[in-house]
Amino acid sequence: MAARFADVPFLRVPVGEDAHRWRTFPGERTLVVAARTLTSTIRILEVLPALLRGDARITVVFAHDPGSAFSDGSMDLLHDSGCRVMPWEQLSYVEPDLILSASEHIDLPAGHCPVLVLPHGVGFQKYVPDSRASRERLSGVVPDELLEAGRAWLAVSHPEQERQLTAAHPKTAGRTLLVGDPCLDELLVSEDRRKDYRDALGIQDNQRLVMVSSTWGPTSLIARNPELPARLLGQLPWDTHRVGLILHPNVWSAHGAWHIRTLQAAALDAGLLLMPPVHDWRPALVAADAVIGDHGSVTLYGAALGRPTALAAHGSEAVPGTASADLARIAPRLDPAGGLLAQVDGLMRDHAGRRHDPYADVVARAFEPPGTALARLREAVYDLLRLPLPATEAPRPRALTTPADPATPVTSWIVGTRLDADAATETETETTPPGLLTIDVSRFPSSVGRERPETEHSFWHRAVKPAEERDRRLSENASVLLGSAPAPDLAAARHWARDTLARWPGSLLAANGVSSGVCLVSLRDGSAVEVSSTGAPAPGTAPGTGTDPALAASAVYACLRTGIPPYGIEAALRLDGAAADGREIRLRLRPAVP
């Protein structure tokens, strides 16, 4: 054995033939984590620290298997997490007490130590390509030789999974451990921090976050409908809806972030919340108001959280009789080619009108009662390691950390304004404008929005922040120019507007906030309108920051297009029907004193 070690550049600390000479923590047992794919590496790193917290009796080393089509990114994640990693070929020189993995398709060297395999999703619900042969295999099932040798143990989240697994693969009989689902436990315990997650992601109280979730493969949602995020952003108004996207880590690993961001470029320019594959997708799911998914685990997690859930795809590789198949049977379908606003709002409205959660039975058949998965899993690990449990308290699920906001700021909008027909008719017959003008406003990011046909009282215009917009063509074609930061006073706002309108001669007006809280909307003829809020701050406007220049400009633009002098008017702005739930924006328009 000494000669073999001499021939191989070996990881000598914390394991190796003479590791005891160099390591600081002696350790009574050696646990090897087999990291193969990005997905499985993420899952292990999410649960392992809680299992071994504060116990110096266990030495942990990670072995990286690069043989998977989805291994890209896993080594980077291990290094970023500070893990001690050894090459896979050196695993045969180590005699661990337990091998732990969340990747079932591992080719382990001969040995006697037990192998505990954790699921990296919800159960055994999908057929996937077998890298060892031109066939498919059941996801989550280890090679037969590990089962036949009595080494493998498969963690499951519900007794129903044991029955399904035994029926589909009889050799797994007696090789399962019921532990529950640690991921779901953390999602549920984090519900009371939902507002914090929404704030971190920039979601306003009046906005609904629609989370799109896709698994990987040719029948996944993102494969069949890669344009769905952009279409949602183009049809769900900006002021009342936001859109996020959670992709399976295999998509990131196989295609790379550059490719994904290139395919979703229009949606990203429109403010898409593209959640990274490591950790942050979980608080983003908690923050969601609705989930549009497929046969992936995240869709089922969304249903388990009680979120209105619809399917935009459901692949043939889904296993019949599983929770995913049951969810597909009862969940409504979203037509990606149909009117998305009506479908999304209808989904949430119908869900809110139900007296009972329609997915409760499906969830009950997929997950054990939550809250104890980490404790059960720790018991299983220590039992397989032949160690007594530490004297410390059993681990409990902890609230998820606050996510980072991945959205790119939107710098250009297509804006629709529609005046109340009665008010407009009244204006035509009187010499003075109405005291209160009702205006419906709809905003969509330019990268995904489109102008609709105009009518006598409805109009469309483009509003751009020229100092931030990188597409010069959009600024050249904008009717409304918006300032990026409040001016210190009205004189400075006039100066900015004069210079900005001179630089972009195709524009009609320029609007900028003022530190006092009002907004100055300057017209090309040199006149200006001072706009102030008379009620609560507009959605998307932080308290104390004053009137939103984009909304102020929309009110003035609508008046000008209708022939109403924009002076001495109080305007009630309804953002995509927001007035129905009491959030109407009141603005006062008056001449700005030079």
Instruction: Round the average pLDDT of the chain to a whole number and report it.
Output: 86
Percentage of the chain surpassing pLDDT 70?
87
Mean pLDDT within 9-32: 69
d(CA 413, CA 513): 18
Q: 407 vs 122, which has greater pLDDT?
A: 407
| Digit-coded pLDDT (tens) for 543-566 | 344 679 999 999 999 999 999 999
**Better pLDDT: 10 or 464:** 464
Q: CA 523, 529, 533 angle in degrees (round to 5)?
A: 135
Distances (CA, A) of 549 to 51, 390, 443, 512, 569: 52, 60, 13, 5, 17
DSSP β-bridge partners for residue 243: 210
Cα–Cα dist 297/364, whole Å: 15
Please state whether beta strands 29-35 and 98-101 pair in parallel, antiparallel, or not at all (unpaired): parallel
- Helix, strand or coil for residue 106? coil
Do 578 and 479 contact (CB within 8 A), yes or no? no
pLDDT digits (tens, 9 = 90+) for 221-275: 999 999 999 999 999 999 999 999 999 998 998 899 999 999 999 999 999 999 9
- Crossing angle for the helix pair 297-304 and 182-189, to the nearest 10 degrees: 40
Locate all alpha helices (DSSP H) within 85-220, ordered by sequence: 144-148, 159-168, 182-189, 194-200
> Which pLDDT score, from 0 to 100, does residue 135 have?
64
pLDDT at residue number 22: 61
3-state secondary structure 236-302: CCCCCEEEEEEECHHHHHHHHHHHHHHHCHHHHHCCCEEECCCCCHHHHHHHCCEEEECCCHHHHHH
Question: Above 50 in pLDDT, residue 427?
Answer: no
Q: Which tokens sit at 288?
A: 């969601």
3-class DSSP assignment, residue 328: helix
Report if pTM > 0.85: yes
For 2, residues 6+ apart whose C-beta sits below 8 A from its C-beta are: 17
Whether residue 123 is predicted with pLDDT greater than 90 in this model: the reply is no
Quick: pLDDT tens for 349-388: 999 988 888 899 888 888 888 889 999 999 999 999 999 9
Name the pLDDT band for 141 (thresholds 50, 70, 90). confident
- Of the chain, the percentage scoring pLDDT greater than 90 comes to 56
Helix (H, G, I), strand (E, B) or coil at 99: strand
581 pLDDT higher than 60: no
For 56, which DSSP code?
A: T
Asked if residue 6 has pLDDT above 60, the reply is no
pLDDT digits (tens, 9 = 90+) for 150-172: 888 988 888 888 888 888 788 88
Of 63-67, 143-147, 512-516, where does the model show the most confidence?
Answer: 512-516
Does residue 68 have a pLDDT over 90? Answer: no
- Range scoring the smallest mean pLDDT among 20-34, 216-230, 535-549: 535-549
pLDDT at 429: 42
Mean pLDDT of 83-87: 86
436-445 and 290-293 strand pairing: unpaired
